[in-house]
Amino acid sequence: MSQKPPAADVVKEPSMLKQKEMIEANYERLSGAKAQGRKVASTFVPGNLNELIMCFDLANNLPEINAIQNGMRKKSGMLIMEAEKRGHSEDVCTYVKADLGMMAKGNLGPNGKPLPEPDVLLLSYTGCFTFMKWFELVREQYKCETLMLHVPYEGEGHATKSMRDYVVKQLKEVVIPGLEKVSGVKFDIDRLRQYLRESAKAEDDFVWVLESAKRRPSPIDAYFGGVYYIGPIFTAFRGTPDATEYYRLLRQEIAARIAQGQGPITPEGDFGQEKYRLVVEGPPNWTSFRDFWKMFHDEGAVVVASTYTKVGGLYDLGFRHDPDHPLESLADYCLGCYTNRNLPSRIDLIEKYVRDYEADGLLINSIKSCNSFSAGQLLVLREIERRTGKPAAFIETDLVDPRYFSAANVKNRLESYLQMIEQKRRGASPRAAA
């Protein structure tokens, strides 16, 4: 009797394999850093200064990424509960609790090996006050050098020359001397320039990838697929030839999909027919990431633009790291991150995405424990509906706490929202129909 052949795995394209290798190699570098006499920096994604960190031969550990990795591996729930047992509130950002719980449980990285204690904490404050409190707790644990780069909030919706000069002054007088002291490596501005050249090349290809979603059908999903695309450029790889090669491969693959008229690749295979085009505001849920994505995939809903993929830089608005103005470029980068922008400029950006990407509407994933995104989202929803005439809706989840992901609720709300879009297409009033 013949056996049914096993289901084929989703094809892994060269860029996917490349990124996996990069991530695994970085965790191995971190695990072996102390044995090799290498110093370690911990920093965050928004406003991170990876090119500068590399100038001092520091390994780069990003606590947010560790929390995300643990969430996707279904490990974050027990780590959060460990942190809560130690007195941290249920309302605290679950990235923080997952990180603190991981520290308490042996600080094992995704490769199963202990992550090293940091030699320096480098915080570029970009709109999330929680980062400051997070690093206060980490500093209390490790008693290590802490460098604070204060980045002024863009309260008027844009950066000024005085704001830029203020950040550059701190880089020169606080951050660079501090990194020299910790690492024992003298700063070389020409080395920084070279890293910035690599960054700019990768950023060009990255923007091309994001903007490919303006096509019909979109060859990418700019939210679920987008979180993979942002990985190298938002973390420990920006400025490296590895990142440049990754985005070259990714652009090549997406160009091939465009030529063949194909939609995005998903964990379930090719996307199929594109029925709805959405803009999504807010981070994804990581603990049920694949199930979350599948809900959209099953309905034929592709995300053509998202705000979460801009937390590490708004390259699609024209910013590039500039080797001719290296420190000023780092300042501009930190100032322009999405979470450092005021609410009116965020609304302007979302409106631009709805129009430029010909989206059917805006869907907000309101994150229970993330104030940086969740504050003001009801105002965002109402204003986008008013400006564009397109329907908008909420779903509610959390970052890495599995207790706050209800698959049934998310699915019901998503289906109801897509029905609103259908009614809008037929000329009915979504509000009246609801």
**What are the φ and ψ backbone dihedral angles of 40, each rounded to 5 degrees?**
-125, 135
The angle, 0 to 180 degrees and rounded to 10, between the axes of the packed helices 326-335 and 161-170 is 110
**Which pLDDT score, from 0 to 100, does residue 11 have?**
58
Q: pLDDT confidence of 22, banded at 50, 70, 90?
A: very high
Is it the case that residue 23 has pLDDT exceeding 80? yes
- The rounded percent of the chain whose pLDDT value lies above 90 is 83
- Residue 375 vs residue 40, higher pLDDT: 40
- Looking at this protein, which amino acid is placed at residue 405? F
**Residue of 160, 187, 127 lying closest to 313 (CA atoms):** 127
**Which pLDDT score, from 0 to 100, does residue 340 have?**
92
Q: pLDDT confidence of 10, banded at 50, 70, 90?
A: low
What's the mean pLDDT when you consider all of the chain? Answer: 92
Q: pLDDT confidence of 349, banded at 50, 70, 90?
A: very high
Number of residues in the chain: 434
For 313-333, what is each residue's pLDDT tens digit? Answer: 999 999 999 999 999 999 999
**Which pLDDT score, from 0 to 100, does residue 428 have?**
57
Q: How many CB atoms lie within 10 A of CB 142?
A: 15
The answer for residues whose C-beta is within 8 angstroms of residue 201's C-beta and 6 or more apart is: 244, 247
Calpha distance 179→174 (Å, rounded) = 9
**Which pLDDT score, from 0 to 100, does residue 256 have?**
96
Calpha distance 210→234 (Å, rounded) = 14
150 bridge partner residues:
125
Residue 135 contacts residue 123 (beta carbons within 8 Å): yes
**Which pLDDT score, from 0 to 100, does residue 14 have?**
83
- Angle, alpha carbons 85-90-96 (nearest 5°): 80
Residue 279, H or E segment: strand 276-281
**Residue of 411, 395, 412, 400 lying closest to 98 (CA atoms):** 400
Is it the case that residue 1 has pLDDT exceeding 70? no
**Which pLDDT score, from 0 to 100, does residue 432 have?**
41
Residue 239 contacts residue 275 (beta carbons within 8 Å): no
> Per DSSP, which regions of 282-380 are E strands?
301-306, 361-367
Q: Tokens 């090293």 — which residue? A: 116
For 219-256, what is each residue's pLDDT tens digit? Answer: 999 999 999 999 999 999 999 999 999 999 999 999 99
Q: Between the CA of residue 407 and those of 78, 367, 395, what are the distances in Å?
A: 20, 15, 11
Calpha distance 402→28 (Å, rounded) = 28
Long-range contacts of 72-75 (CB under 8 A, 24+ apart): 72/286, 72/287, 72/289, 73/110, 74/287, 74/402
For 190-229, what is each residue's pLDDT tens digit? Answer: 999 999 999 999 999 999 999 999 999 999 999 999 999 9
User: What is the rounded average pLDDT of the residues 289-304?
Assistant: 96
Going from N- to C-terminal start, the domains of the chain cover 14-433
In this prediction the pTM is 0.93
Write the DSSP assignment of 369-407 as a string of letters.
T-HHHHTTHHHHHHHHHHHH---EEEEEE-SS-GGG--H
276 bridge partner residues:
301
3-state SS of the chain is CCCCCCCCCCCCCHHHHHHHHHHHHHHHHHHHCCCCCCCEEEECCCCCCHHHHHCCCCEEECHHHHHHHHHHCCCHHHHHHHHHHCCCCCCCCHHHHHHHHHHHCCCECCCCCECCCCCEEEEEECCCHHHHHHHHHHHHHHCCEEEEEECCCECCCCCCHHHHHHHHHHHHHHHHHHHHHHHCCCCCHHHHHHHHHHHHHHHHHHHHHHHHHHCCCCCCCCCCCHHHHCHHHHCCCCCCHHHHHHHHHHHHHHHHHHHCCCCCEECCEECCCCCEEEEEECCCCCCCHHHHHHHHHHHCEEEEEECHHHCCCCHHHCCCCCCCCHHHHHHHHHHCCHHHECHHHHHHHHHHHHHHCCCCEEEEEEECCCHHHHCCHHHHHHHHHHHHCCCEEEEEECCCCHHHCCHHHHHHHHHHHHHHHHHHHCCCCHHHHC
